[in-house]
Structure 1
Amino acid sequence: MSGAAEQGAGGEASRTLAQKIEHLFETAAPNGQKAPSHEDVATAINIAAGERAISGTYIWQLRTGRKTNPTKKHLEALARYFGVSPAYFLDNEQAQRIDEQLALLQALKQSDVRNIALRAHGLSDSSRQTLAGVVSHLRKLEGLGEDPGSHNDGA
C-alpha cells in the first residue's frame, strides 16, 4: 500500500490505508465520547484472538502511515474489531459503500435522527418522498452538500 492517495477507477481519489484506519477510529466512538486508544484496540483484538496478535504501537504505525504493508492476519483482525469486511482496506469501492453504511449508523445514533426515521415509518411513498425533499432542501440551506442517502434508490 502506498502512503499517498491515488486516483480510483472512477476518477475519485482513493484513500491510503492510514486514512481508512483513521476514519474507522473516528467513527468508532459513540457520539460525544472519545475514540478508543491504540492500546484499547490492540487489547480487544488480542483477547479475541487468544494470543498477542498485534500491539498498540503497530496499530499507531498503521494509522499514521509509518507502516504501510500489514499482514492479512492484521487486516482481518482490525476489520473484525471495527465490524467491517477486510475488503474495506483493499477495495476502494467496498470502502466507499462501507463508509456510507457507517455514516448512516452514526446518524441513527443521534436520537433526533432516529426519532424522525421512526416517525416516518408508515407514511405513504408520496409522503416519504416529500419528507426526503424537505430534508434535501434543508441540507442545501445549511451548506451540507449532497444528501448522503441520495445514492440509494429509496431502499
Structure 2
Amino acid sequence: MDGQPGPVPRTLPEKVDYLIRNVHPRGRKPYTHPEIAEQTGLSTGLLSALRSGKNQNPTKDTLERLARFFGVPEAFFFDEQTADQVTAQIALAAMLRDAGIAQVAARMVGLSQGSLEAVQAMTEQLRKLEGLEADDA
C-alpha cells in the first residue's frame, strides 16, 4: 500500500502501522523496527507489540517518542479529528513525494501571479490531453 495511504487509521495498532508504512523519505522503503528503535530508544519488541495490538496501553513517553520520530502531533494517537487531519496531510505528502511534484512546486516559488496562472492553465490543458479529470478547485 506504499504511496497510497488508504483509510484513516482508528485503532492504536492501525495508527502505528500507518505511520511506519507511510512516513518515510522519497526513494526509500518504510523504516524498519530496528531503525525506529535506534532513533527513538524504544525496543523493537515494543514496536512490534504496538503495531500488532499486543500492547494497546503504551506510556506517554512512548507515544511522545513515536510522534517526534514521525513528525506528527501526539494527539494523532488519541484524537480522531487530529488523526483525520494528519492522515490527510500524510496522504498529500506521500503523493507529492512519490509523484515528484515537490520538485516542480519548489521551482515555482517566486514566480509572479501571472506566471502561476499560466502554469495552472498549462497543467489543466495537459490533464485534458492525457484524459485526466479537470481540477475541481
Using the size of structure 2 for normalisation, the TM-score is: 0.69
1:71 aligned to 31, 45, 59, which one?
59
- Which AA in structure 1 matches 2:45? T
**Higher mean Cα deviation, 23-32 or 86-95?**
23-32
Change beyond 3 A, Cα 1:129–1:33: closer
Counterpart residue number, 1:124: 113
Give the share of equivalent positions with the same residue, in percent: 30
Shift of 1:129: 10
Greater RCO (Cα-Cα under 8 Å, separation 6 or more): 2
Structure 1 gaps, min length 5: 1-11, 47-53, 151-155
- Which AA in structure 2 matches 1:127? E
Q: How many residues align?
A: 125
Contact 1:120 1:128 in 2 (8 A): no
Q: Distance in 2 between matches of 1:97 and 1:21?
A: 16
The 5-angstrom pairing of residues 25-40 of structure 1 reads: 25-40=20-35
Change beyond 3 A, Cα 1:119–1:92: same
Provide the secondary structure at the position in 2 that maps to 1:66. coil
Shift of 1:72: 1.0
The 5-angstrom pairing of residues 28-67 of structure 1 reads: 28-46=23-41, 54-67=42-55
- Which AA in structure 1 matches 2:113? S
Using the size of structure 1 for normalisation, the TM-score is: 0.62
Cα RMSD of the aligned pairs, angstroms, is 3.4
CA deviation map 1:98-150 (0-9, x unaligned): 1222223323334741244245553538937955x939x77xx669xx98xx6
Structure 2 gaps, min length 5: 1-6
Counterpart residue number, 1:23: 18
* Pair 1:94-2:82 in alignment: yes
Contact 2:64 2:74 in 1 (8 A): yes
Contact 2:40 2:69 in 1 (8 A): yes
